[in-house]
Amino acid sequence: MMKVHVVRAHLEGEHRNLRVLAEQFDSDLACVWQDGDQPDSPWLLGAEELEHLWGQPVALHEAAVALLRRLNGAAQVVRPGYRPVRVAARYDGPGNSVSVATIGTATAECSAGSVTVYAVGGVPVPPSPPPGPGLVDLGGRHRDLAEVLELMGPPDKLSTGDMWKVVDIVRENVGGPQKGVRRQPCWPLGGLHRTSGRA
């Protein structure tokens, strides 16, 4: 169950991607939810690290953007096809709302519905817990994973240069082309798949 956050950042993006974040992040680390049942109800991000920044709009916006980059990065690792969402630069807090002026771009996309897996006998298989919070938490303890999540998290497309940086970081952690040199990975690689289109 998500924690009630007093300071909330408004998010914008495709509904399917916002739903992915909501599925992945409903924890003390970060909560993403839609505030209402209507399709146009706002999507919100709450996190402990944003609470103390109320009254400092620029610092609050910078912290929310940095946090969302990590969440977007984790969502891209665990969900192929996920497209990062943006902070809408509007924040709700004690007694009022504030907005921060930003410059951005617009994109559009579409997708198919979700999949339910059934076991023999027609019984639905319960889904595994979302791995996103674990990746972001682990990124807080491992500098290289944090950098990968930051590189993969911007709302714009992953640039070729950033993609190669991710490849280099992964290569450094799981062993490179040097013969006989194999390093122990600093994070579990269960979320990094060749078929996902990510490093």
Please write the tens of the pLDDT for every residue from 55-78. 888 889 999 999 999 999 999 988
Instruction: Report the C-alpha gap between 75 and 84 in whole angstroms.
Output: 8
Instruction: Report the C-alpha gap between 190 and 68 in whole angstroms.
Output: 22
Tokens 């909560």 belong to residue: 31
Upper half-sphere CA count for residue 4 (Cβ side, 13 Å): 2
Instruction: Report the C-alpha gap between 55 and 57 in whole angstroms.
Output: 6
Q: In what order do the strands lie in the sheet with 43-46?
A: 31-34, 43-46, 8-12, 86-93, 96-99
Confidence of residue 23 (pLDDT cuts 50, 70, 90): very high
pLDDT of residue 42: 94
Whole-model pTM: value is 0.63
Contact 84, 149 (CB under 8 A): no
Confidence of residue 82 (pLDDT cuts 50, 70, 90): very high
**Radius of gyration of the chain from its Cα atoms, rounded to whole angstroms:** 18
Instruction: Report the C-alpha gap between 86 and 68 in whole angstroms.
Output: 7
pLDDT beyond 70 at 120: no
The 8-class DSSP code of residue 118 comes to B
Mean pLDDT over each residue of the chain, to the nearest integer: 77
pLDDT of residue 147: 85
- Which residues are CB-contacts of 137 (< 8 A; sequence separation ≥ 6)? 29
